[in-house]
């Protein structure tokens, strides 16, 4: 009987301590003082409660929280700066451009474009020194000037030879200035800067639009060594024209891949892995559905957590949001909770499931010990 008593005592000890080392993930409720243990005074806690309160924020997903988070989303906004820049835009001639200069009623000064010659071939090429040559008046410096300024200067200088000359200047070939579009667009390459102002969204459209692998929330504009981030999603879906900008010569527009635009679903779900977010984003309900839902028998419905990296400026490590889905109406809130890039969705195991795992692991040892004890008792009897 001695061995059987030892078995019984061992089983009792394992019963009392089972939850302390039970396998399977577990995160306490949002109101708990510790994120590392079921008991605040556990000696294995890596940080003190005071330190944790400074490093991690915990929230319960509720209608009030959803209203607060949704209020932070971008609202439709019109950019006055964009409209002013567009209205004030005027092309400036550069080296390599082709100009067409027409002097009305003086065909000898205008080289016509015929069936064998295009307007570019018959135009005046801007030389590397920024000048063109024109009859009677000779060399004219045109680089960096608007066509209206060139027109006025040519007319003024021709007035010495022609009475009241009527002059018109147009750009036949835009060759001096470029915009570069790279990354996840259908036709990456070089776009010419013309007399029609080009915005960020127009450059992407002129490049064939986005590829399926494009992350339209992350478009980088590099200008004079400085980078700016823009979100085409805000522009397309919310009409936020602040995410659009008038491009300038030598701008580089790069559309990132969506490799980083994913969330991770882990824990007591049927298909734990990373999932790509769609162009329209992803809600918590969609992430759980893509993962096949959580296991009804083992998952803790009150322990659905979203772990999100905190803003570095706050000095915190993470923000943790908890959804209590024991009430099925809470799934409505899951549909309204928008996930962000690199969020971790974690479904914890129910306490009974963690205890069942303990039993399944120690049962072979208990069975063996019990068999040995019963054999010894039989011998004694």
Q: For the ranges 157-161, 245-249, 376-380, which has the lowest average pLDDT?
A: 376-380
Do the two domains 2-73+261-359 and 98-173 of this chain adopt the same fold?
no
Mean pLDDT of 206-227: 92
Contact 347, 300 (CB under 8 A): yes
Q: At 115, phi and psi to the nearest 5?
A: -65, -25
Crossing angle of helices 351-380/2-21, nearest 10°?
Answer: 170
Domain 80-88+177-259: CATH superfamily is Outer membrane lipoprotein wza domain like (3.10.560.10)
Whether the per-residue pLDDT at 94 is higher than 70: the answer is yes
Mean pLDDT of 120-148: 91
Identify the three-state secondary structure at position 221: strand
Q: For the ranges 43-47, 67-71, 192-196, 359-363, which has the lowest average pLDDT?
A: 43-47
The CATH architecture assigned to 2-73+261-359 reads: Roll (3.10)
Rounded to 5°, angle at Cα 72 from 70 and 78: 110
Give the per-residue pLDDT at 117.
Answer: 56
Contact 272, 265 (CB under 8 A): yes
218 CB-near residues (< 8 Å, 6+ apart) = 229, 231, 255, 256, 260, 261
Q: What is d(CA 373, CA 359) in angstroms, rounded to the nearest whole number? A: 20
Question: In the chain, what are the domain boundaries?
Answer: 2-73+261-359, 80-88+177-259, 98-173
pLDDT above 70 covers what percent of the chain?
Answer: 73
pLDDT tier for residue 132 given thresholds of 50, 70 and 90: very high
Give the per-residue pLDDT at 32.
Answer: 53
Q: What is d(CA 286, CA 334) in angstroms, rounded to the nearest whole number? A: 8
pLDDT tier for residue 76 given thresholds of 50, 70 and 90: low
Whether the per-residue pLDDT at 227 is higher than 70: the answer is yes
Contact 74, 232 (CB under 8 A): no
Whether the per-residue pLDDT at 355 is higher than 60: the answer is no
Domain 98-173 has CATH 3.30.1950.10: yes
Give the per-residue pLDDT at 142.
Answer: 96
Q: What is d(CA 219, CA 234) in angstroms, rounded to the nearest whole number? A: 11
Q: What is d(CA 282, CA 267) in angstroms, rounded to the nearest whole number? A: 19
Where is 174: in which H helix or E strand? none
Q: What is d(CA 232, CA 239) in angstroms, rounded to the nearest whole number? A: 10
Say how many C-beta atoms besides its own lie within 10 A of residue 67's C-beta.
10
Contact 213, 262 (CB under 8 A): no
- The pTM score is 0.65
Mean pLDDT of 51-67: 82
Q: For the ranges 113-127, 173-187, 251-265, 330-344, which has the lowest average pLDDT?
A: 113-127
Give the per-residue pLDDT at 198.
Answer: 95
Whether the per-residue pLDDT at 17 is higher than 80: the answer is no
Where is 157: in which H helix or E strand? helix 147-158
Give the per-residue pLDDT at 261.
Answer: 84
Question: Cα–chain-centroid distance for residue 133?
Answer: 51
Tokens of residue 328, six digits: 């099925």
Q: What is the pLDDT of residues 274-306, one digit of tens each?
A: 998 877 789 999 999 999 988 888 888 888 999
pLDDT tier for residue 184 given thresholds of 50, 70 and 90: very high
Q: What is d(CA 360, CA 274) in angstroms, rounded to the nearest whole number? A: 29
Give the per-residue pLDDT at 177.
Answer: 96
Tokens of residue 230, six digits: 């823009």
């Amino acid at each position: 009987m001695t061995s059987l008593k030892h078995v019984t005592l061992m089983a009792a000890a394992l019963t009392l301590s089972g939850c302390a080392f039970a396998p399977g993930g577990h995160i306490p409720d949002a109101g708990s003082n510790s994120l590392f243990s079921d008991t605040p005074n556990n000696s294995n806690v890596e940080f003190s409660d005071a330190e944790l309160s400074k490093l991690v924020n915990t929230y319960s997903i509720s209608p009030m929280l959803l209203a607060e988070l949704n209020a932070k989303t971008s609202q439709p906004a019109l950019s006055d700066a964009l409209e002013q820049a567009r209205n004030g835009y005027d092309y400036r001639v550069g080296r390599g451009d082709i100009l067409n200069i027409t002097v009305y009623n003086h065909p000898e000064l205008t080289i016509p474009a015929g069936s064998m010659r295009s307007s570019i071939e018959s135009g005046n090429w801007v030389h590397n020194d920024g000048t063109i040559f024109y009859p009677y008046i000779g060399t004219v410096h045109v680089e960096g000037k608007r066509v209206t300024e060139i027109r006025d200067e040519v007319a003024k200088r021709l007035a010495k030879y022609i009475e009241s000359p009527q002059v018109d200047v147009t750009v036949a070939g835009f060759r001096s200035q470029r915009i570069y579009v790279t990354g996840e667009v259908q036709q990456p390459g070089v776009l010419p800067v013309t007399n029609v102002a080009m915005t960020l969204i127009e450059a992407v459209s002129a490049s064939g639009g986005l590829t399926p692998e494009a992350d339209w929330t992350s478009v980088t504009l590099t200008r004079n060594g400085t980078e700016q981030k823009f979100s085409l999603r805000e522009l397309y879906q919310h009409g936020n024209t602040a995410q659009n900008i008038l491009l300038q010569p030598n701008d580089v527009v790069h559309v990132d891949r969506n490799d980083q635009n994913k969330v991770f679903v882990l824990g007591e779900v049927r298909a734990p892995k990373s999932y790509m977010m769609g162009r329209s984003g992803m809600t918590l309900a969609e992430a759980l559905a893509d993962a096949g839902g959580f296991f009804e028998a083992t998952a803790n419905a009150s322990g659905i957590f979203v772990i999100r990296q905190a803003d570095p400026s706050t000095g915190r490590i993470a923000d943790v949001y908890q959804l209590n889905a024991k009430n099925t109406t809470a799934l409505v809130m899951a549909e309204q909770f928008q996930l962000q890039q690199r969020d971790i969705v974690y479904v914890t195991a129910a306490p009974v499931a963690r205890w069942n795992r303990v039993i399944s692991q120690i049962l072979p040892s208990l069975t063996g010990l019990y068999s040995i004890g019963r054999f010894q008792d039989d011998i004694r009897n």
